[in-house]
Chain A
Amino acid sequence: ATAIGPKTGRRVVVIGGGWGGATAAKYVRLADPSIEVILLEPNKEFVSCPFSNLVLSGVKSLESMTFDYSGLRRHGVKIVHQAATAIEPDKKRVRVGDDAIEYDRLVVSPGIDFLWEQVEGLPAAKDTVLHAWKAGPQTVALARQLQSMADGGVVVMSVPPVAYRCPPGPYERACQIAWYLKTSKPRSKLIVLDANKNIVSKTGLFQAAWKAYPNLEYRPANRVEKIDTSTREVTTEIGDKVKYDVINLIPPQRAGAIAVQAGLVGADKRWCEVNHVTYESVKHKGIHVIGDSTIGLPVPKSGTIANAMGKICASAVVHLLNGKEPPQMPPVNVCYSWVSNREAIAVINAYRIAQGKVVMIEQKLTSQTVAVAQNSEGWARSIWNDILG
């Protein structure tokens, strides 16, 4: 049981207390405290994916990016630490096991889930072959595997085909693992098997940063098709067989399972199309989708974007519930990537809304400096507080 009673006044339900959902829940309350907000999130703590690659290199601890939900409670958000099990758009309610929670508007921000079956051998091995693409226990476990590997060992990581969560994230991770190996296991190497034709994001900047890592071998257009944990070997689309001591296989991705199950995804069965001003689903009225689960806007699947969508969507939902026209609010994006233990690079995107669609104004890249790393710490501090504080 969820201890949530029948709806009395106006109610917004939010599925997922990550970057998008937690922001949306808080901002609906900020915009109109007369609206009841219920947040469904199975995890008791929020663990930030941004910065979690630095846990792999030992530069930061997972505790330093783990937060509780007390800030949201102070805003009057009612949090139920359970997963939504189904959505019933016709009845305007969300199922949580045997319970049903009614809503006036629903915000869905379940992040991503994995397409395990696209890699042969992975469905059976998914508990031991780590992705560490949802920060938490897997991040710590992967860091331990790297630490306990003998010097001279080979680490293999795979990059999934686009679209996936955080375009520069795998390459930042490659930098962190390569930096760790270079400083702690100088005879080891890292092999990056990329399903894409080239580095997906900040290409030139990563290429420059990788000059510091002769221990990093990059193999583009080399999608992992098969894993055999008994021989500790992966096979790629071009028939390469690569032995590993530590494997980090980041599987192909799609929208969070609940979005797929509720029929919010398009013909690709992977991602959810939305209105660019309100984030209302094109599939179901009254249901808004934000964050990594969305597709069709010229934006990356980033935490900054999910946070911006949370604020915009909250505003739209409150305007609609109050019978007003939602304002047109373009998102912003920044993605910082740490390329060593002290230097970072960034990509910055600004957008406008033209004829009801989000359009990019421009994209800028920074150079690789300590100052950018400092600004990324500033960003993290500010945005974590914007989501949860």
Chain B
Amino acid sequence: AGPLDAPGYAKAFSCSACHGFAGASAADTVPVLAGMPSWYLKKAIQDYASGKRPAAEMESYSKMVLELGVDDVAAYFAGQKKQPTPVKADPAAVARGKAASTQCVVCHGPEGKGDPAKGIPDLTGQPPGYLKNQMLLFKADRRSPGDETLKALKALMRTIPDEAFGDLAAYYSSLR
């Protein structure tokens, strides 16, 4: 079967305009979808569509995905081989980020792979610009504002100076 024969392709084809072919984003601020676990992609789409996670680019497309069938779209991306970001991180920043990441291990795990059972996403191989933007959004309570389950995460982000986010982002983006 060819690259377009995967079930779900016809519902997920339009995402490549921003997320790259089959979700292999090469862009710094647009996340990689290739290989994303379906539970997390589904949650993200639901949060965008309901307006809980405000993001102008994603809200309308998420409504479209819900109409088309989010399970098929999630299965399509989960079925793609994960393609870590090609954006290169500065080794010094990666080292600093690694040192600072001890505070994240309790949730995201020692390798940054997250924990589906607790609703914690895999951070590895995501583009650094995207990871940094999300940390800034958490800190300012602009990603899922008011969400009780994210209180601890946001409290932690508020203790971290903005400059350190670049290092943490570099570290997690460099993990495979």
Contact = CB atoms under 8 A, between A and B. Distances in A.
A379 B10 contact: no
Given A348-B57, A363-B60, A375-B57, A332 B17 contact: yes
A319 to B, nearest CB: 10
Contacts of B13: 308, 311-312, 315, 329
Interface in B105-160: 129, 133
Interface string B4-30: 100000110110111111000111111
A352 B64 contact: yes
Contacts of A308: 13-14, 17
B3 A30 contact: yes
Given A350-B61, A364-B59, A327 B10 contact: yes
B14 A311 contact: yes
A332 B56 contact: no
A349 interface: yes
Nearest to A387: B17
Interface string A75-87: 0000000000000
Given A348-B56, A364-B59, A366-B57, A383 B17 contact: yes
Given A304-B17, A332-B14, A379 B63 contact: no
B4 A383 contact: no
A332 B13 CA distance: 10
Interface in B47-105: 56-57, 59-61, 63-64, 67-68
B161 interface: no
Given A348-B61, A362-B60, A365-B56, A334 B17 contact: yes
A357 B29 CA distance: 33
Given A30-B4, A346-B56, A348-B56, A389 B21 contact: yes
Interface of B: 2-4, 10-11, 13-14, 16-21, 25-30, 56-57, 59-61, 63-64, 67-68, 129, 133
Interface of A: 27, 30-33, 304, 307-308, 311-312, 315, 327, 329-332, 334, 346, 348-352, 361-367, 371-372, 374-375, 377-379, 381-383, 385-386, 389
Given A332-B17, A379-B17, A386-B16, 17 more contacts: A27-B4, A32-B2, A308-B14, A315-B4, A327-B10, A329-B14, A330-B64, A331-B14, A348-B56, A348-B61, A352-B67, A362-B60, A367-B56, A378-B18, A378-B29, A386-B17, A389-B21
